[in-house]
Amino acid sequence: MKQYALFTGCTIKAALPHIEMVARKVLPLLDIEIEELAFTCCPNADFRSTDEYSWLVVAARNLALAEKEGLEILSLCPGCTQTLKEANMILKDDNSLRARINKRLERIGLIFKGTTEANHHLVILHQQIDILIQRITTPLYGIKLAIHSGCHLLMPSWIMQFDNPERPTKLEELIKMLGGTIIDYPEKTLCCGFTLFGSHKGTASRIIRDKVESAYLAGAEAFVVPCPSCFQQLDRNQLVAKRELKFEYQLPVFYYLQLVGLAMGFDLDEVGYYHGRVRSPELEEKIKSLRRKEVVNI
């Protein structure tokens, strides 16, 4: 069992604690041991746009904490992953800047050496997909899922290095391993619009409507996402958009590890499904019936 430092990011800690909960349940069962370190905000790109040096100092501190413990970082957030990976690359390549950053880190007893890596958990799960297959007890046969990969898991590809941003396949492979049916839909690669919601709410709401209608009419029963910001936008803000634009359809949202939990035999409550805002009684019954079939087969 390999150890990793778990990096949840701010959004999960503050708004989506059920995602951290399911990660802590599921990952150890996949031979991934997680340790909690005193991480802070990654920090995100907004911070960088106002003070890039301080952005690097904070990111370097997070990386140095993992280095000190001899651990790689497993992130639950693509945006956090991007920050940590890019800061790591910048500091490894620039000796002068690294020395300046380390002068700051010395004040708190840390040093950045460039000896760790940060990866989104999907990267790690895809690398050990055989273990995932072995742990599945309740395949999600017949569950029709619309993938929303989001922007930061795939781009910029030279930093993230996870998949082809134009034709991604790895998340599809991970869902197929769970038994889920992937539904293709026209707006699959459309950004969720999360960063627009605060300043251009109308535009963000129309993006949500277009994605929901596109996926629903293609036959999907739920979205699956790897990103907490995308989860918030397609879940909580879906209800806001529906109220404002009065569109007919709605789809619940699953974070990928919630589906892993279901396929490993956990029930909807145990994977935090009921913490989501958008529900589907029909889908809930369909998932419960999979568990009943498992019990009968036993």
pLDDT tens string 45-103: 888 889 999 999 999 999 999 999 999 999 999 999 999 999 999 999 999 999 999 99
Weakest mean pLDDT among 61-65, 162-166, 231-235: 162-166
pLDDT at 195: 86
Cα distances from 269 to residues 121, 128, 238, 279, in angstroms, run 22, 27, 21, 13
- Into which CATH architecture does domain 137-297 fall? 3-Layer(aba) Sandwich (3.40)
Which CATH number applies to 2-122? Answer: 1.20.1050.140
Position 18 pLDDT exceeds 70 = yes
Amino acid occupying residue 48 = R
Pick from 220, 237, 218: nearest CA to 276 = 237
Q: Report the alpha-carbon distance of residue 298 to residue 292 in Å, rounded.
A: 10
> Which residues make beta-bridge pairs with 6?
74
pLDDT in tens, 97-133: 999 999 999 999 999 999 999 999 999 999 999 999 9
Q: Which part of the chain is CATH 1.20.1050.140?
A: 2-122
Position 298 pLDDT exceeds 70 = no
- What proportion of the chain, given as a percentage, has pLDDT over 70? 98
The two structure tokens encoding residue 70: 């001899």
pLDDT at 49: 87
pLDDT in tens, 200-210: 989 999 999 99
152 or 257, higher pLDDT: 257
> Which residues make beta-bridge pairs with 167?
none
Whole-number mean pLDDT of the chain? 95
For residue 166, name the pLDDT band (cuts at 50, 70, 90). Answer: confident
> Which residues make beta-bridge pairs with 224?
147, 254
pLDDT at 293: 65
pLDDT at 196: 86
Q: Which part of the chain is CATH 3.40.50.11810?
A: 137-297
pLDDT in tens, 213-228: 999 999 999 999 999 9
**Residue 85: is it exposed, middle or buried by C-beta count within 10 angstroms (0-12/13-18/19+)?**
buried
